């Protein structure tokens, strides 16, 4: 079975351990949830130097990965997971397309108008990376329920801000 290693928290790879893991036949990728771009650049270089390394999958798995994707692309990480896709697929898809096509104006606008304010809201409360996704899905019409303890659901004022961000993001991509 193909395996993608997800480095986060205490599970951190070095360039050496990443290369050793990438040489294993069932390991097909590494997803970075740590955010140490210097170390990730070294990992990219060490993996790409392996035979077949050009086909190895490297992902940005940071919360709201869109914010760091311009930097990650510069070090050779082209793939990312988008939490925003769960509740605003229109915005996430437009961002992905703009990034892939080099539309720096739309990338910058979406970062400024949607993703960076979403990160600011997310950072107000520990665990909001999950809470805001569930709240966003509910705001878009599919009630998925709240989060379980120890996570907290957004307060009414935070929900209102999230709804405004969703509307703003949709306006940007519809313009």
**pLDDT tens, 63-87?**
999 999 999 999 999 999 999 999 9
Percent of the chain with pLDDT over 70: 99
Residue-wise pLDDT tens digits, 9-28: 999 999 999 999 999 999 99
The DSSP secondary-structure symbol of 62 reads S
Query: 144: which 2 tokens?
Result: 């998925």
**Cis before residue 86, ω within 30 degrees of 0?**
no
Residues 92-112: what's their mean pLDDT? 98
Q: Give the single-character DSSP code of 126.
A: T
Alpha-helical segments (H) within the chain: 15-22, 37-48, 69-74, 89-101, 104-110, 116-122, 128-139, 156-174
Q: Which helix (H) or strand (E) element contains residue 7? A: strand 3-7
Residue 175 in this model has a pLDDT that exceeds 80: no
- pLDDT, residue 12, reads 96
The predicted pLDDT at position 136 comes to 98
Q: Which two tokens stand for residue 139?
A: 């705001």
Strands 57-60 and 27-32: parallel
| pLDDT average, residue stretch 94-112 | 98
Q: How many CA atoms lie within 13 A of 17 on its CB side?
A: 9
Residue 82: its pLDDT value, please? 97
Tell me the pLDDT tens digit for each residue of 136-150: 999 999 999 999 999
Residue 86: how many CB atoms within 10 A of its CB? 16
> What are the beta bridge partners of residue 5?
30
Let me know how long the chain is.
175
Is there a contact between 13 and 7 (Cβ–Cβ < 8 Å)? yes
Would you place residue 127 in the very low, low, confident or very high pLDDT band (cuts 50, 70, 90)?
confident
Mean pLDDT of 30-42: 97
Domain with CATH 3.20.20.70 in the chain: 1-81
Q: CB neighbours of 170 closer than 8 A, spacing ≥ 6?
A: 88, 90, 91
CATH dotted code for 1-81: 3.20.20.70
């Amino acid at each position: 079975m193909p395996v993608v290693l997800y480095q986060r928290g205490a599970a951190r790879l070095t360039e050496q351990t990443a290369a050793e893991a990438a040489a294993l036949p069932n390991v097909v990728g590494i997803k970075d949830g740590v955010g140490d771009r210097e170390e990730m650049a070294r990992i990219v270089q060490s993996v790409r130097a392996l035979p077949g390394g050009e086909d190895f999958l490297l992902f940005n798995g940071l919360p709201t990965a869109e914010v760091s994707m311009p930097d990650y692309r510069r070090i050779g990480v082209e793939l990312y997971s988008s939490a925003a896709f769960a509740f605003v697929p229109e915005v996430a898809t437009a961002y992905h397309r703009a990034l892939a096509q080099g539309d720096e104006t739309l990338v910058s606008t979406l970062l400024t108008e949607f993703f960076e304010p979403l990160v600011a809201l997310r950072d107000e409360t520990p665990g909001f990376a999950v809470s805001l996704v569930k709240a966003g899905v509910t705001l878009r019409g599919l009630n998925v329920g709240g989060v379980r303890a120890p996570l907290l659901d957004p307060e009414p004022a935070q929900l209102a801000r999230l709804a405004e961000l969703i509307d703003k993001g949709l306006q940007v991509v519809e313009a």
